[in-house]
Amino acid sequence: MTRKYFGTDGIRGRVGKLPMTVDFIMKLGWAAGRVLSESGHGRVVIGKDTRISGYMFESALEAGLAAAGLDVLLLGPMPTPAIAYITQAQRAACGIVISASHNPYHDDGVKFFNGNGFKLPDSTEIAIEEMLEQSLTMVEPEDIGRASRMEDAKGRYIEFCKSSLSFNKSLRGMKLVVDCANGATYHIAPAVFRELGAEVIELGTRPNGMNINDKVGAMHPQNMRAKVLENQADLGIAFDGDGDRVMMMDAKGDVKNGDQLLYIIAKSKLKKEPLGGGVVGTVMTNLGLEHALQSNNIPFERAAVGDRYVMEKLVSNGWQLGGESSGHIICLDKTTTGDGIIAALQVLDWLITEEQDLTEACSDMEVYPQCMINVAISGKIDLKSNATINQAIQSAEAELGDSGRVLLRPSGTEPLIRVMVEGQDNQQVEKLAETLAQTVSDSTTTLSS
């Protein structure tokens, strides 16, 4: 069955339009409660980011879950990985996050964790969608669920994050710019780094319901760069709106993305103890990371884009470390999902141990130039069977040899074909990407006519 509402990371959309309407979200809470609590009883943890719509959807979910007979534990604004942690710690039936991650405030979404703190498999999401097709039926009045608030959720999660840094390590002497994107980490991340000894300069810690991800955070490093340079900070750390991804910046203002941070963490874990298998990236992971890991005899595999697919491959391989270029980094030896704060602490652990700065720590990983071009399409193109496109791909791959790669993939949300070329020579990469993009565009025009 094809999923109607669930995407790669829960349900997401513009507030006020299906599926992000109050009536739909209330029924979603009911349907999820019916599917995820087999006994018809239990407790569900709900957290949210700082969007103004979060209050509305929190109440809608609470009503739907109560109608299904489940109790609700409300955490208020908390990072996505905090909901995963507290769901597991509380032995809850599931955890629900109200967030649209790095999207602007007028979007919102809902995503779920099972009782073990892992994102739901496709089969469970399909079961929830099937339940949505049924009529909403309430439990008996005496079985209606109750709601309460966890007043100490913030402190619990701060201590959990701090525990992921080696007990004998301190951040004393470090000056950090911490950019929380006016999102869910605004009252968490600065406290974590301060309590570990760092001097913290805050950015993006004044949410007003509508400024989440607005020119701040992992997607917009410009303001953080200015703060790092102005304050002569050792480095900057930027999160997205729900705190499950991280980017870092060195003292010169150069951004280090998820691939580079993943490499530092892999080296750190390899030095302390056996890595626990290999590292999982995605089809978009920079080829430089793959080559750098190979030079350290660390196995590497690619998954489809999306942290849920990285997680699936980690679990199937029995590995512990994976991530995406966007900054979603999963350390399964520490937690059950991508966690920006915990990933940043693993990088800092290496910097302290090796007495290196951020630039030195990833200097032995060459970042290959990548060129991405989005080609609008008016109809469906079967990339595998299109002879013209495949001939162009083979020609580009032959020119790149072992020092590059080509990737064409349809967008999961828009009528686009994403054309990506990667290699060691920037001019060559751009030229090949433009040629491939034109070939795809011409094929689309032929298809339309």
Q: Which residues are catalytic?
A: 101
H-assigned helices in 185-333: 189-195, 222-231, 258-272, 287-295, 307-317
Q: Percent helix, strand, coil in the chain (nearest 5)?
A: 40, 20, 40
The answer to whether the CB of 426 falls within 8 A of the CB of 368 is: no
Burial of 141 (0-12, 13-18, 19+ CB in 10 A): exposed
The answer to whether the CB of 289 falls within 8 A of the CB of 365 is: yes
Other beta carbons within 10 angstroms of residue 126's beta carbon come to: 17
Question: Pairing state of beta strands 147-149 and 235-239?
Answer: unpaired
Other beta carbons within 10 angstroms of residue 158's beta carbon come to: 19
Other beta carbons within 10 angstroms of residue 254's beta carbon come to: 13
H-assigned helices in 20-152: 22-36, 53-67, 80-89, 122-132
Residue 430 three-state SS? helix
Joined together, the tokens standing for residue 60 give 């809608």
The answer to whether the CB of 101 falls within 8 A of the CB of 244 is: yes
Please tell me the distance from the alpha carbon of residue 18 to that of residue 21, in angstroms, as a whole number.
6
Please tell me the distance from the alpha carbon of residue 370 to that of residue 343, in angstroms, as a whole number.
24
The answer to whether the CB of 257 falls within 8 A of the CB of 370 is: no
Other beta carbons within 10 angstroms of residue 124's beta carbon come to: 17
How many helices (H) and strands (E) would you count in the chain?
Answer: 14, 18
Please tell me the distance from the alpha carbon of residue 318 to that of residue 24, in angstroms, as a whole number.
38
Q: Which residues contact 340 (CB under 8 A, 6 or more apart)?
A: 79, 81, 185, 189, 218, 239, 240, 243, 244, 245, 246, 327, 329
Tokens 């349809």 sit at which residue? 410
